[in-house]
Amino acid sequence: MDNRLHNIFFHTHTISGIVISVLLYVIFFAGSFSFFRDEIVNWERNHSITSTEDITMDYDAAMQSLDEKYDLHGRDIAIGKYYIERRVGVNLGASKDSLASDQAKESHFFYLDTETHETAKYEESYTLGEFLYRLHFFAQIPYPAGYYLSGFTAFFFLFAILTGVLVHWNKIVSNFYTFRPWAKLKTIWTDAHTALGTIGLPFQFVYAVTGAFFMLQALLVAPSVFVFYDGDQGKLYEELGYSEPEIEYGYQALEKPMSINELVARTRTQWIDFDIHHLHIFNYGDANMHVSVEGITRKDVKFTGPGKMVFNASTGEVVDEVDPFMRASYLEGVKNSLYRLHYGDYGGYGLRIISFGLGLLSCFVILSGVMIWLVARNKKHIPEKKRRFNEWVVNIYLAICLGMYPITALTFIAVKVIQPTGMSFLYSFYFIGWLVIAAFFTWKKDIAFTNKYSLLSGGILGLIIPVVNGVVTGNWFWLTFMNQQFGFFLVDTLWIAAGVISLFAVRQINKKKRDQLGEQNGQASRKKRQKISVNHQPVTTEV
């Protein structure tokens, strides 16, 4: 590569990285915890459940309980298990019966506890796990601005990855094995940025591609709506498999419907190693009532295998079937593969722990890139005013980014002490606390102070989290391990590991500072002794 192309790619890589750096840090930091979204939710609620995507509940009893509360006749009902937790999402459509009451013609969405059949609204069911999961694609910003912001951040991150590889291509292998901890500051940051960036390169590439796809797919498919579907968005979604079929309403009561439990049991018997995660009931209580049982093959059996069986509820006849063990269509294969790759849920806890570490490693790569940018511009030939401005920008940047660590740890403690929390509490506590911490670090105007005390406070709070959990719930981490409550155990031990590593890093920072101070004092002492020895040299006179 000639110098002109190298300079173009280098400056493009630098500019694109700096522009998205804060947003990208938030995405990776919150996204790292999102790998354990379900474990955090169950840890917060103190729900010990089996780790499965399968809905296990008494459907008939649940429908009877909901019918007493919402009058289900004539409604389309969708039950979905979106995450591995005890609650499932329930969407009740408006009744199609023309004689239905005004209340029955209202739509509802809520969560249903599969054991107690208690219902709760979305805001009441909001948890810290859900908060961090949604923070990693900026869902707290009103739709669609937050989604598009995270999508374009992922897109520009992909651009930064490609230009970074092109810049370092000729020396990518040799630079990977080069680390000079005793060199000048810019060299240390450059070596760390290159080596750790190379380690996390496949991980970062996968998440840049899949993240951009998920958040920008609406923009990607929008032109095709007008080109291929004459503006009919519904037809596009139908072909993509995102819409449900329309089942005509019969306007006649169903005398004796088939048991939903029986229909689900027939599906389980038909397909072994198949987890049912969605149930759609069309025209509940009507003569033309249908039940669609949907799911996917278990990940240890087949990487992606969506299946569906649709029954006529009056006769029990199968009217439609998609065999999950047959070869999936190209569209289904692509959609499900991208979901599997992004969520990292196909390799068990081991893969998610590795992904968690690589996510935090990516945060360090982002920080080191910004520090390279700062050190490279802290030269004597650069005007003092411009250097102060650069330091001010990086100081704010680090205050925002590193402030996430202590406030996240503090929120884990808060949701254990204060129960239940809900959306309003989490929004207020997290964002106001983050603002206060970031403002304090910005006011200090000391990058070394921000780095040290964000690690120190986050580390101490991280070690307190399992203690608070043990005191409040009695679920001490050694007991959860012995009781095979591995979700609880994982959350506690992750924070213990993070706390120990953080405090070790602070110890190394203090040790290096003491060594530097000792070396400076030693140099000053040597200079002083040399000066004294010169001043006290004997004077000789020639005779």
What CA–CA distance (Å, rounded) separates 100 from 296?
Answer: 36
Give pTM, 2 decimals. Answer: 0.85
Contacts of 538 (CB under 8 A, 6+ apart): none
- pLDDT score for 540: 47
For the chain, the distance separating the N- and C-terminal CA atoms, rounded to the nearest angstrom, is 74
Task: Residue 27: name the closest of 401, 307, 433 by CA.
Answer: 401
Task: Residue 310: name the closest of 286, 329, 282, 273 by CA.
Answer: 282
Three-state SS string over 188-235 comes to: HHHHHHHHHHHHCHHHHHHHHHHHHHHHHHHHHHHHHHHHHCCCCHHH
Both tokens assigned to 26: 């938030």
- pLDDT score for 225: 61
Task: Residue 491: name the closest of 26, 24, 47, 27 by CA.
Answer: 47
Mean pLDDT, 10 residues at a time, over the chain (543 residues)? 62 66 93 94 88 88 92 93 91 89 89 91 91 94 90 87 75 60 57 71 88 81 65 64 77 85 93 91 92 89 85 91 80 76 82 91 86 77 82 90 96 90 91 96 92 95 96 93 92 95 88 70 65 56 41
- pLDDT score for 525: 65
Both tokens assigned to 541: 């006179």
Q: Spell out a b/e string for 347-357, using b for 16 or more CB atoms within 10 Å of the CB, else e.
A: eeeeebbebbb
Contacts of 234 (CB under 8 A, 6+ apart): 243
